[in-house]
Every structure is written in C-alpha cells, then in structure tokens.
Amino acid sequence: MRSILIYPCVVFFTSCVLGPEPGNPDVALPSSIRGDMAPHGTSFGDKSWRKVFSDPTLYNLIARALSNNPDLVAATYRIEEARARAQVVRSAYFPNINGSAAGSTDYSSRNAGQGNATGERSSESYNLTGLLSWELDLWGGIKRDNQAARARLLESEYQRDAVQTSLIAAVASSYIDLQNLDERLAIARRTIESRKGSLELVTARRDGGVSSDLEVGQAQALLSQAQILVPTTERAIVEKENEIRALLGEYPGGITRGGSLDKLDSSLRIAAGLPSLLIARRPDISAANQSFQAATAEIGVAEALRLPTLSLTGQGGVISGDFNKLLQGNSAAYSIGPQLAGPIFDAGRGKARVEGAKARAKIALSDYQKSAQQAFQEAANSLNAYQKTGEIIVEQTKLVKSQMSVSSIALDRFQGGASSYLEVLDAERELFSAELDLADARSNRLRAVVQAYRALGGGWQ
C-alpha cells in the first residue's frame, strides 16, 4: 500500500524538467555537393572498405592497423570510459543504501564526577545500522545528466569511427605513396642504364675525334642527375615504410609489396549522394552532433542545481549496550523522513554555472557548423581532384610518348652529326622529368580515390 502511494508522488515530482530538450542542430545544408556528377545516386562512401580496398596486400595492412593502431585502441577504451560514466550517472535514479557496524567502550573519569546511573565507570555500545538516501528528480536535473552522459557515450563511439576512417585513409594513402616511390626508383634505375650507354657512346666518339670533352662532361652530368635520385628515393622509401609500420602499431621494418593498385581506379564511379546523407555518414559530424546534444542537456543540469533538492533519508538498525542483546527485538531503532535543501546565497555561482553551460552549447553548435562546412569542402575538393587527376594523366601520358620520340630523334641526329649533344641532353632531361611526373600523377589519382572515400564518410562500415 505504501509503495502505491509513493509511486504517484515520484511521478509528480519528476514531471518538471528544466532546460532545453536536446536535439539535432538546426543548420542549413547546401542542396548538392559541388562537383557531384550523380547527386541522387548511391554514394561511394556507402561501400565497405573491404570492397574498396580489396587488393590482398593493402587489405592485410588495413586489417593489421585496425587491430593494433594505438590511437584506435585508445579511442575504443574511451568508449568504455564513457559507458562507465553513463552507468555512474544512471545510478542517481536509485536509492543509495549503505551499512555500518560499530562498537565502543567508554571509561569515565571518577575525579570528573562522571559515571552512569549505577555508578559504573565503563559503558559499552554496539550498533548495526543501515543508511538510506534517495534524491527525487524534482527538476529533471538527473534526467538531463543522463541525457548528457548518453550523448557523451555516443560521441565517443562516433569519435572512434572517425579515427578508423582516418586510419584506413592514412594506411591506403601511405601504401600508394610507397608504390609511387618504388616506381620513381625503377624509373631512375632504368634511366641510369640508358644514360650509361649514352656516356659510353659519347666517350667513344670523343676518343674517335668526333665529340668533345664538353659533351662527355654533359653526358656524365646527365648520368649523375639520375644517380642522385636513387639514394634520395631509397631514403624516402625507408621512411615511408616506417611510417606505415607506425600506423600498424608496429616497430620500424619493411613492408611487403603487392601488385599494382590500378584496379582501385578502374571503372570506378564516384558519386557523393545527397547532402543530408553525407551528414549522417560522416562520424566526425555525428560526434559533433552528440557533443552539442550533451552540452544542451547540461544546461538543464546547471539550472537544476540552482533550486532546492528533495531527498528521502532514513536509517535503521539495532543498538544495544550489551553485545549479546544486539539482535533482540528491543534493540531495533529507525528514523525516516524527507529532507529539503537548497542554496540561499551563493554569490551568483549558480547563475554563472548556467551561463557557462549555455555558452558551451553555443560553442558546440559552432563546432558542428564548422565540421559540416569542412565535410562539404573536403567532399567537393576530393571529387574535383579525382576528375582533374584523370585529365592530368591523359595529357601526361601523351607528353611522355612525345618526349620519348623527341629523345630518340635527338639521339639519331647527334649520331648522324646533324646536331650537338645539347639536344640529346635537353631531350633526356625532359623525358626523365615527364616519366617521374606521370608516376606522380597516377599516384595522385589513387590518392584522390582514397580521399574521396574518406571525405564521403566511408571507412567505418
């Protein structure tokens, strides 16, 4: 019967909830993503990373990173921390019950005229007591605190997803860079062999009185130019391998190479999809959303702290001066009753706490807007990069073919005595540069695919 009376009272006292209700930020979005060729199609970001990065070697590297990367591991533990915090906050809905046991012996001074009624100088006291305290959610402060804790938990989960998307993109981009360095090294070594042949040719012509020492020196300089690139690139390769191993959560070491990643770009159709879905897919934006909702809920927590609290407190147990009678019925004692407490004067502390909470909510809203704007900027830039790098590859391929033809013609003219070695020198230098630029263009194209995937919210699936 008593519980039947308490229940409606609890409902009445917890029906008032202070502060604004947490919800999604009201932010205007663009009607489309700039550069999207298929705005109503399925977004590239919806694909699982396992399908996008299906190359066995790259797949294995990403899987190792997802298992061992320290930043991702730490982000996972932050979820556990936030979950524990949410459980602590949730416990405020329930009574707090503690117990205590005590025993004491008092010995009075005879000269001080102290003693009990029987004249004895010593007395004993024993007790077993249970203590109860239950704060009613009078103003909804506990509810708002739970909403904030729940939002912080979701924020930590989205932050982990954001770390994962960035990690996958970093591993893929670094592996693409590594393959590009391998290609540049191969170009340098191939060019060295070609220029060694040219040096031998010019040296033989000089010995035959046809060429000069100047032309031999020019051929040697051209060879040295390519040779310098070898140790420079080898150094960059080691550093890039160590960088990848760090992303994997491993100590420095080599990286096993796989085949070409050209199929990562072959017949690929990159579409951004609807702007609203981009907002939903990007875990960093979702994290900012939850941060805003938590800050909004915390306004109600701060407002509730300015008002009185109503608690039900009580204690009960057994008390006796004789340990052998402690558990007898006559030793029972208890007290129970409501307690109303609230601030009378706090020098403006409560008001300042509310103003601070409101300011934090505004900051969180601003951070959300910034995250959304940055997401659309990254998406637009990545789509543009994908399109333009494709155009660059087409033209750069034509340039390499042209330079190969020019180099061959220049060498024939030199051997026929129709021109000096300077023409060969210029043609070889331009060809070498064009081949390196083509390798970079192909690498940039693949990096654009990776960045588009991350920018469109892919990687956490």
* pLDDT tens per residue across span 164-180: 999 999 999 999 999 99
Which of 110-114, 177-181, 431-435 has the weakest average pLDDT? Answer: 110-114
Most confident of 272-286, 390-404, 415-429: 390-404
Beta bridge partners, 129, equal 100, 317
Q: What is the pTM of this model?
A: 0.88
Nearest Cα residue to 23 out of 268, 289, 249? 289
Amino acid identity of residue 12, one-letter, is F
What percent of the chain shows pLDDT beyond 70?
92
**Backbone angle region of 70, left / alpha / beta, with phi > 0 → left and psi within -120 to 50 → alpha:** alpha
* pLDDT tens per residue across span 372-395: 999 999 999 999 999 999 999 999
* pLDDT tens per residue across span 297-345: 999 999 999 999 999 999 888 887 777 877 777 878 888 889 999 999 9
Q: Which two tokens stand for residue 287?
A: 């994290």
Domain ranges of the chain: 18-99+138-311+348-455
pLDDT of residue 15: 55
Kindly report the backbone phi and psi dihedral angles of residue 106, in degrees, each rounded to the nearest multiple of 5, phi listed first: -105, 135
Q: Which residues contact 85 (CB under 8 A, 6 or more apart)?
A: 149, 152, 153
Angle at which helix 421-455 crosses helix 349-415, to 10 degrees, equals 150
What percent of the chain shows pLDDT beyond 90?
67
What is the 8-class DSSP label of residue 456?
T
Is the per-residue pLDDT at 13 higher than 60? no
Amino acid identity of residue 143, one-letter, is K
Average model confidence (pLDDT) for the chain? 90
150 band by pLDDT with thresholds 50, 70 and 90? very high
Distance of CA 426 to the CA centre of its chain: 49
Nearest Cα residue to 281 out of 36, 24, 31, 44? 44
**Backbone angle region of 458, left / alpha / beta, with phi > 0 → left and psi within -120 to 50 → alpha:** beta
Neighbour-count burial of 118, counting CB atoms closer than 10 A to its CB (0-12 exposed, 13-18 middle, 19+ buried): exposed
pLDDT of residue 172: 97
Is the per-residue pLDDT at 1 higher than 50? no
The more confidently predicted of residues 286 and 417 is 286
Most confident of 141-150, 257-266, 306-315: 141-150
> Mean pLDDT, to the nearest integer, of 80-106?
92
* pLDDT tens per residue across span 194-232: 999 989 988 998 988 888 899 899 999 999 999 999 999
Nearest Cα residue to 453 out of 97, 73, 44, 109? 44
Tell the CATH topology of 18-99+138-311+348-455: Outer membrane efflux proteins (OEP) (1.20.1600)
Is the per-residue pLDDT at 246 higher than 90? yes
Element (H, E) at 129: strand 122-136
Residue whose entry in the numeric block shows the structure tokens 């004789």:
322
Contact indicator for 432, 226 with CB cutoff of 8 Å: yes
pLDDT of residue 419: 85
- CA 136 – CA 250 distance, rounded (Å): 52
- CA 20 – CA 119 distance, rounded (Å): 67
> Mean pLDDT, to the nearest integer, of 88-92?
95
Angle at which helix 421-455 crosses helix 141-207, to 10 degrees, equals 170
- CA 278 – CA 272 distance, rounded (Å): 8
Is the per-residue pLDDT at 39 higher than 80? no
Contact indicator for 211, 425 with CB cutoff of 8 Å: no
- CA 220 – CA 204 distance, rounded (Å): 13
Which of 78-82, 105-109, 141-145, 306-310 has the weakest average pLDDT? Answer: 105-109
Q: Which two tokens stand for residue 7?
A: 């229940």
Structural Rg of the chain based on CA atoms: 38
pLDDT of residue 130: 87
Q: In what order do the strands lie in the sheet with 96-107?
A: 96-107, 122-136, 309-320, 332-341
447 band by pLDDT with thresholds 50, 70 and 90? very high
3 band by pLDDT with thresholds 50, 70 and 90? very low
Query: Other CB atoms closer than 10 Å to residue 214's CB: what's the count?
Result: 13
Q: Which residues contact 109 (CB under 8 A, 6 or more apart)?
A: 121
pLDDT of residue 68: 97
DSSP 328-359: SGGGEEEEEEEEEE--S--TTHHHHHHHHHHH
Max CA separation in the chain (angstroms): 137
103 band by pLDDT with thresholds 50, 70 and 90? confident
- CA 456 – CA 46 distance, rounded (Å): 8
